[in-house]
Amino acid sequence: MKRLCGNLTFWDSNFTKHTDLPDLPACFQLSVLPWAPCIFLWLTSPFYIFYLKRNNRGYIMMSILNRIKTVLGLILWIVCWTDLFSSFHEMSQNQLKPPVYFVTPLVLGMTMLLATFLIQFERLKGVQSSGVLFIFWTISVLCAIMPFRSKIMNASQAENDKLRFTMFYIYFGLTLLQLILSCFNEKPPLFSSVVTDPNVCPETTAGFLSKMTFWWFTRMAIKGYKSPLENKDLWSLNKHDSSELVVPNLLNEWEVEKSKAQSEQSVKEQAAFRKAGPGAEPNHVSVSPEEEEVLLSKRKEARQPSFLRALLRAFGPYFLIGSAFKLLQDLITFVNPQLLRMLIAFTKQPQAPSWWGYSLAFLMFSASLLQTLILHQHFQYCFVTGMRLRSGIVGAIYRKSLVITNEAKRSSTVGEVVNLMSVDAQRFMDLTTFLNMLWSAPLQIVLALFFLWQNLGPSVLAGVAVMVLLIPFNAFIAMKTRSYQVEQMKYKDERIKLMNEILNGIKVLKLYAWETSFKQKILQIRQKELHVLRKASYLSALSTMAWTSAPFLVALTTFAVFVTVDVNNILDAEKAFVSLSLFNILRFPLNMLPQVISSIVQASVSLKRIQGFLSHDELDPESVDRRNNASEYAVSVVNGKFSWAKQDQAALDNINVMVPQGSLLAVVGHVGCGKTSLVCALLGEMEKLEGQISIQGSVAYVPQQAWIQNATLRDNILFGRPYAEQKYRCVLEACALTPDLEVLPGGDQTEIGEKGINLSGGQRQRVSLARALYSGADVYLLDDPLSAVDAHVAKHIFDNVIGPEGALKGKTRILVTHGISFLPQVHNILVLVEGRVSEMGSYQDLLKQNGAFAEFLRNYSLEDIIEDDDVTDLLVDDEEEEFPDDALSNHTDMVDNEPVVNEARRHFMRQMSIMSNDPENPKKMSRRRRCSERRHLESPSEKKELKVEKLIQAETTETGRVKLKVYWEYAKAVGPLLSLFICVLYGCQSATSIGANVWLSEWTNDALLNRTQDRVHMRVGVYAALGISQGVLVMFSSFTLALGKIQAARKLHQTLLDNKFHTPQSFFDTTPIGRIINRFSKDIYVIDEVLPSTVLMFLGTFFASLSTMIVIIFSTPIFALVIGPLALIYFFVQRFYVATSRQLKRLESVSRSPIYSHFSETITGTSVIRAYGRNTAFVLLSDMKVDENQKSYYPGIVSNR
Choice among 399-403, 775-779, 1150-1154 with the minimum mean pLDDT: 1150-1154
Q: What is the pLDDT of residue 893?
A: 34
C-alpha distances (whole Å) from 671 to each of 835, 856, 867 are 11, 11, 19
Q: With pLDDT > 70 as the criterion, what percentage of the chain qualifies?
A: 82
DSSP-derived letter for residue 756 is G
Q: Concatenated DSSP letters for 226-271?
A: HS---GGGSPPPPGGGSHHHHHHHHHHHHHHHHHHHHHHHHHHHHH
How large is the average pLDDT for residues 705-714?
Answer: 84
pTM here is 0.74
Give the HSE-up count for residue 47: Cα atoms under 13 Å, Cβ half-sphere: 6
The residue type of 596 is V
How large is the average pLDDT for residues 311-334?
Answer: 89
DSSP-derived letter for residue 159 is G
Q: Is the pLDDT at 1200 greater than 50, yes or no?
A: yes
pLDDT band at 562 (very low <50, low <70, confident <90, very high): confident
Query: Cα 1007 to the chain's mean position, in Å?
Result: 57
Choice among 87-96, 888-897, 960-969, 1138-1147 with the minimum mean pLDDT: 888-897
pLDDT band at 7 (very low <50, low <70, confident <90, very high): low
Q: What is the pLDDT of residue 930?
A: 42
pLDDT digits (tens, 9 = 90+) for 409-461: 777 777 778 778 877 888 888 888 888 888 888 888 888 888 888 888 888 88
Q: Is the pLDDT at 587 greater than 50, yes or no?
A: yes
How large is the average pLDDT for residues 193-219?
Answer: 78
Q: According to the per-residue pLDDT averaged within each range, which of 373-382, 445-454, 1031-1040 is highest?
A: 373-382
- What is the rounded distance in angstroms from the CA atom of residue 395 to the CA atom of residue 250? 9
How large is the average pLDDT for residues 69-74?
Answer: 89
pLDDT band at 357 (very low <50, low <70, confident <90, very high): confident
Q: Is the pLDDT at 1195 greater than 60, yes or no?
A: yes
Q: What is the pLDDT of residue 278?
A: 46
Contact (Cβ atoms closer than 8 angstroms) between residue 684 and residue 845: no
pLDDT digits (tens, 9 = 90+) for 156-191: 655 566 777 888 888 888 999 989 888 888 877 776
- What is the rounded distance in angstroms from the CA atom of residue 14 to the CA atom of residue 248? 64
Q: Concatenated DSSP letters for 1017-1053?
A: HHHHHHHHHHHHHHHHHHHHHHHHHHHHHHHHHHHHH
Higher-pLDDT residue of 133 and 1143 is: 133
Choice among 31-45, 384-398, 609-623 with the minimum mean pLDDT: 609-623
Q: What is the pLDDT of residue 899?
A: 35
* 691 phi/psi in degrees, rounded to 5: 90, -175
Q: What is the pLDDT of residue 327?
A: 92
The residue type of 1051 is K
Q: Which residues contact 889 (CB under 8 A, 6 or more apart)?
A: 760, 761, 762, 763, 789, 790, 793
Contact (Cβ atoms closer than 8 angstroms) between residue 768 and residue 717: no
- For the CA atoms of 1109, 1114, 1117, 1121, what is the dihedral angle to 10 degrees? 20
Choice among 339-343, 647-651, 683-687 with the minimum mean pLDDT: 647-651
Q: What is the pLDDT of residue 177?
A: 92
- The H or E element that residue 720 is part of is none
pLDDT band at 946 (very low <50, low <70, confident <90, very high): very low
Decide the pairing of beta strands 779-783 and 812-816. Answer: parallel
Q: Concatenated DSSP letters for 1150-1164?
A: HTTHHHHHHHHHHHH
Choice among 74-83, 755-764, 950-959 with the minimum mean pLDDT: 950-959
- For the CA atoms of 1102, 1105, 1108, 1109, what is the dihedral angle to 10 degrees? -100
Choice among 284-288, 304-308, 576-580 with the minimum mean pLDDT: 284-288
Q: Concatenated DSSP letters for 281-328?
A: -SSGGGS-HHHHHHHHHHHHTSPPP-HHHHHHHHHHHHHHHHHHHHHH
How large is the average pLDDT for residues 344-364?
Answer: 80
Q: What is the pLDDT of residue 857?
A: 76
Total residue length of the chain: 1201
- What is the rounded distance in angstroms from the CA atom of residue 776 to the CA atom of residue 721? 10
Q: Concatenated DSSP letters for 550-605?
A: HHHHHHHHHHHHHHHH-TT----HHHHHHHHHHHHHHHHHHHHHHHHHHHHHHHHH
Q: Is the pLDDT at 910 greater than 70, yes or no?
A: no
| Average pLDDT across the chain, whole number | 77
Q: What is the pLDDT of residue 281?
A: 42
Decide the pairing of beta strands 664-669 and 633-643. Answer: unpaired
Q: What is the pLDDT of residue 891?
A: 35
Q: What is the pLDDT of residue 283?
A: 43
